[in-house]
């Protein structure tokens, strides 16, 4: 994709949270969040299950109102800006989707929300082909979705999210259940888009290592609190110990970050049939 | 032995006086075509949204409505539609999640069937009318009924035409559709009502027990051989129309209800598509490491 000229005001944030809080009844998921995400920035949203990562995604999409504070996306309330957010959802079981092809999913990204019969088909067709080529999915454009592998499907998903030329790319656990090779392919796609189009990336993940080199800043959510900063600032023993209120060790080995000692979240469902896993480290 | 077999054969397939009979069922053939169109198109979404059980549940309440109308001597199509809409609204409102939905249907279905049995037991008219509601009929389609059926078909087709695209989006990819501002919940309810109408129509021809053969089987067959959003509904309609018109033409001279012919044709079409679809899975199946072909 050819690089586009940078926006005139590169420093205007695309996402802006001021004293933002979200709670369900008595339970505060997070509060006091002050955050500006700028064009081209790569923000990783980290935290254990139940810390409010999904609520954060829903708030950005305008599906979950804040309980306090403000959230603006491109200077507007989130609900009005959803057109400018390319959303890559968590992988779900896709059996029903076996009825449609990869190219149809991308096409939904362009005009799936319109009522009434389809017009201007030729132009949309061309655009779908361009997108599929850009994410390297042309080879399986006509394969039913149900027959695609996880990695292939995720490429198509990213194509779908980019179909509207979004200013923000919002990915919710896009690497889940992908092998290393496909993890790398997916993160490279996301990063390429960010560099070529100055698209801001909000990347929700429970595992930072696959994207550690790309991340500009981290929003770490846990226990109703949060930390914002560069990975070097946030992912330290001191910072996370304070966030969790107990001793947590952050170790850097071979360029990877390993967090040890994160207490089990009472709200998090335990992974079935496994020994307790604490942030990627089996104990 | 031979005479018995000949007798059964005569009952099943008899083409004496075929031309005269054909003139009698012209209305049925017209309604059948409309029904094939409606069933074939609605079936596509029944498959995408995993609603076959809902179709069955709606059809039992549609049967209750129709038998109530029969007992009261009012319009049977209207009664059937009323029952259908009540059931589909209940399923749509109470059963948002798949698990809730199935239990709601499981509760509604026997209740509807029970009501229907009650009304039929109270009805003192022709027995053929009773049987027809459950297992189908053709000759009973008279001119005022034809008008009702065609008008309802037109409503269903218009509604589907308007919401086709966002409904497809919401059915296959609900999370992203919701993020893009598609009214996923409203569409889900709207489709349940449209489905209620489609089921009420199908009950008139194939009967309450066999609606699935018109609303599910053709779309399921089409889905085995294509994933194109144009070809899939087209094939589904072709299969549904072929089943129902074929069924009417074969049943015409026989003394047997129409439904076994319709269900057999649609089942055979499915078997053929399933066999043809195996080639497709082999061609592309190698890439499916984790994913199961539906």
3-state secondary structure A86-136: EEECCCCCCHHHHHCEHHHHHHHHHHCCCCCCCCCHHHHHHHHHHHHHHCC
Q: What is the mean pLDDT of residues B185-213?
A: 90
Residues of B in contact with A101 (CB under 8 A): 227-229
Residues of B in contact with A144 (CB under 8 A): 227, 284, 293
In a domain, A9, yes or no: no
Predicted confidence (pLDDT) at residue A6 exceeds the cutoff of 60: no
**Both tokens of residue B290?**
């984790």
Range of the domain at A53: 15-282
Nearest CA in chain B to A177: B290
Q: Is residue A181 less than 8 Å (CB to CB) from chain B?
A: no
pLDDT tens readout for residues B91-109: 988 877 777 888 889 998 9
- What pLDDT sits at residue B209? 81
User: Are the CB atoms for B203 and A131 separated by under 8 Å?
Assistant: no
Domain of residue B37, CATH code: 1.10.3470.10
Predicted confidence (pLDDT) at residue A45 exceeds the cutoff of 70: yes
Across A139-143, A211-215, B250-254, B282-286, least confident range = B282-286
Mean pLDDT over each residue of chain A, to the nearest integer: 84
- Residue A218 Ramachandran class (φ > 0 left, ψ -120 to 50 alpha, else beta): beta
In a domain, A5, yes or no: no
Residue B41: pLDDT band (50, 70, 90) is very high
- What pLDDT sits at residue B207? 86
- What pLDDT sits at residue B141? 61
DSSP A192-245: HHHHHH--EEEEE-S--GGGTTT-SEEEEEETBEEEEE-HHHHSSHHHHHHHHT
For residues A87 and A271, the model is more confident at A87
- What pLDDT sits at residue B253? 75
In a domain, B165, yes or no: yes
In a domain, B79, yes or no: yes
Question: A43-76 burial string, b = 16+ CB within 10 Å, else e?
Answer: bbbbbbebbbbbbbbbbbbbebebeeeebbbbee
pLDDT tens readout for residues B133-174: 887 776 556 677 788 889 999 999 999 999 999 999 999 888
In a domain, B259, yes or no: no
Predicted confidence (pLDDT) at residue A217 exceeds the cutoff of 50: yes
Domain tally, chain B: 1
Predicted confidence (pLDDT) at residue B130 exceeds the cutoff of 80: no
Nearest CA in chain B to A62: B179
Q: Is residue A273 less than 8 Å (CB to CB) from chain B?
A: no
Domain of residue A107, CATH code: 3.40.50.300
Q: Please, what sign has the CA dihedral across residues B251, B257, B262, B268?
A: negative
Quickly count: other Cβ atoms within 10 Å of residue A185's Cβ.
18
Predicted confidence (pLDDT) at residue B34 exceeds the cutoff of 90: yes
Subunit contact B287:A140, Cβ cutoff 8 A: yes
Q: Which of B47, B166, B229 sits opposite A113 (nearest CB)?
A: B166
Residues of A in contact with B292 (CB under 8 A): 95, 146
Residues of B in contact with A91 (CB under 8 A): none
For residues B40 and A2, the model is more confident at B40
Across A52-56, A71-75, B24-28, B226-230, least confident range = B24-28
For residues B5 and B192, the model is more confident at B192
Subunit contact A115:B289, Cβ cutoff 8 A: no
In a domain, B253, yes or no: no
Residues of B in contact with A165 (CB under 8 A): none
d(CA B126, nearest CA chain A) in Å: 44
In a domain, B12, yes or no: no
**Most B-contacting residue of A147, A160, A164, A181 (CB-CB within 10 A), to test interface:** A147
According to DSSP, the β-strands at A68-73 and A15-24 are antiparallel
Subunit contact A63:B181, Cβ cutoff 8 A: no
Chain A window 135-164: which residues touch B at a Cβ cutoff of 8 Å? 140, 142-150, 152-153, 160-161
Residue A230: pLDDT band (50, 70, 90) is very high
Q: What is the mean pLDDT of residues A178-187?
A: 88
Domain tally, chain A: 1
Chain A window 53-112: which residues touch B at a Cβ cutoff of 8 Å? 61, 63, 82-83, 85, 87, 89-90, 92, 94-101, 104-105, 108-109, 111-112
In a domain, A6, yes or no: no
Predicted confidence (pLDDT) at residue A272 exceeds the cutoff of 50: no
Residue A9: pLDDT band (50, 70, 90) is low
Nearest CA in chain A to B47: A96
Q: Is residue B165 less than 8 Å (CB to CB) from chain A?
A: yes
Residues of A in contact with B183 (CB under 8 A): none
Q: Which of B175, B229, B232 sits opposite A89 (nearest CB)?
A: B175
In a domain, B52, yes or no: yes
Q: What is the mean pLDDT of residues A77-105?
A: 81
Alpha carbon distance B202, B33 (integer Å): 11
Strands of the sheet with A27-37, listed across from one edge: A27-37, A15-24, A68-73, A76-77
**Most B-contacting residue of A73, A100, A151, A162 (CB-CB within 10 A), to test interface:** A100
Q: Is residue B232 less than 8 Å (CB to CB) from chain A?
A: yes
Q: Which of A113, A147, A161 sits opposite B177 (nearest CB)?
A: A113
Range of the domain at B159: 23-211
In a domain, A178, yes or no: yes
Question: Is the interface score ipTM higher than 0.85?
Answer: no
Alpha carbon distance A107, A88 (integer Å): 14
Q: What is the mean pLDDT of residues A185-193?
A: 91
For residues A283 and B78, the model is more confident at B78
Subunit contact B223:A99, Cβ cutoff 8 A: yes
Predicted confidence (pLDDT) at residue A279 exceeds the cutoff of 50: no
In a domain, A10, yes or no: no
Subunit contact B173:A61, Cβ cutoff 8 A: no
**Both tokens of residue A106?**
């991308």
Nearest CA in chain A to B166: A113
């Amino acid at each position: 994709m050819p690089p586009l000229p940078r926006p005139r005001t590169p420093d205007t944030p695309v996402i802006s949270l001021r004293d933002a809080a979200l709670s369900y009844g008595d339970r505060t998921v997070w509060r006091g969040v002050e955050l500006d995400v700028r064009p081209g920035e790569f923000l990783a949203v980290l935290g254990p299950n139940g810390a409010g990562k999904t609520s954060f995604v829903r708030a950005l999409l305008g599906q979950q109102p804040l309980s306090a504070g403000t959230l603006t996306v491109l200077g507007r309330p989130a609900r009005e800006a959803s057109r400018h957010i390319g959303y890559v959802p968590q992988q779900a079981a896709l059996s029903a989707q076996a009825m449609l092809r990869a190219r149809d999913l991308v096409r939904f990204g362009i005009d799936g929300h319109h009522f009434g019969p389809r017009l201007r088909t030729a132009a949309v067709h061309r655009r779908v082909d361009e997108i599929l080529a850009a994410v390297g999915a042309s080879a399986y454009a006509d394969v039913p979705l149900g027959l695609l592998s996880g990695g292939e499907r995720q490429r198509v998903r990213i194509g779908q999210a980019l179909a509207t030329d979004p200013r923000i790319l919002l990915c919710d656990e896009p690497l889940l259940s992908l092998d290393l090779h496909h993890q790398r392919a997916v993160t490279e796609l996301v990063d390429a888009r960010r560099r070529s189009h100055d698209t801001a990336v909000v990347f929700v993940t429970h595992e930072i290592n696959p994207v550690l080199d790309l991340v500009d800043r981290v929003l770490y959510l846990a226990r109703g609190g949060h930390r914002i900063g560069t990975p070097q600032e946030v992912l330290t023993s001191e910072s996370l110990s304070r966030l969790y209120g107990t001793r947590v060790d952050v170790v850097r080995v071979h360029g990877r970050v390993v967090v040890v000692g994160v207490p089990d979240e009472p709200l998090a469902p335990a992974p079935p049939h496994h020994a307790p896993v604490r942030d990627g480290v089996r104990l | 032995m031979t005479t018995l077999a000949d007798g059964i054969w005569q009952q099943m397939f008899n083409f004496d006086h075929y031309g005269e009979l054909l003139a009698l069922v012209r209305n049925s053939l017209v309604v059948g075509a409309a029904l094939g169109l409606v069933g074939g198109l609605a079936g596509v979404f029944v498959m995408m949204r995993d609603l076959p059980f809902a179709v069955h549940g709606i059809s039992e309440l549609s049967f209750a409505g129709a038998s109530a109308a029969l007992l009261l001597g009012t319009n049977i199509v209207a009664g059937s539609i009323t029952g259908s809409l009540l059931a589909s609204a209940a399923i749509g409102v109470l059963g948002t999640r798949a698990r809730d939905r199935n239990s709601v249907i499981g509760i509604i279905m026997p209740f509807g069937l029970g009501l229907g049995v009650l009304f039929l037991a109270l009805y003192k008219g022709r027995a053929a009318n009773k049987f027809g509601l459950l297992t189908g009929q053709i000759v009973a389609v008279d001119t005022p009924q034809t008008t009702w059926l065609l008008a309802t078909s037109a409503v269903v087709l218009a509604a589907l035409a308007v919401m086709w695209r966002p409904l497809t989006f919401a059915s296959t990819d609900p999370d992203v559709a919701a993020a893009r501002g598609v009214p996923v919940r409203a569409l889900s309810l709207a489709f349940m009502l449209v489905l209620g109408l489609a089921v009420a129509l199908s009950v008139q021809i194939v009967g309450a027990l066999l609606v699935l053969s018109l609303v599910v089987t053709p779309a399921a067959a089409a889905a085995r051989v294509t994933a194109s959003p144009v070809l899939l509904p087209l094939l589904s309609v072709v299969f549904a129309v072929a089943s129902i018109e074929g069924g009417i033409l074969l049943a015409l001279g026989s003394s047997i209800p129409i439904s076994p012919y319709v269900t057999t044709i649609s089942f055979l079409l499915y078997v053929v598509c399933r066999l043809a679809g195996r080639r497709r899975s082999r061609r592309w199946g190698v890439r499916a490491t984790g994913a199961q072909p539906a």
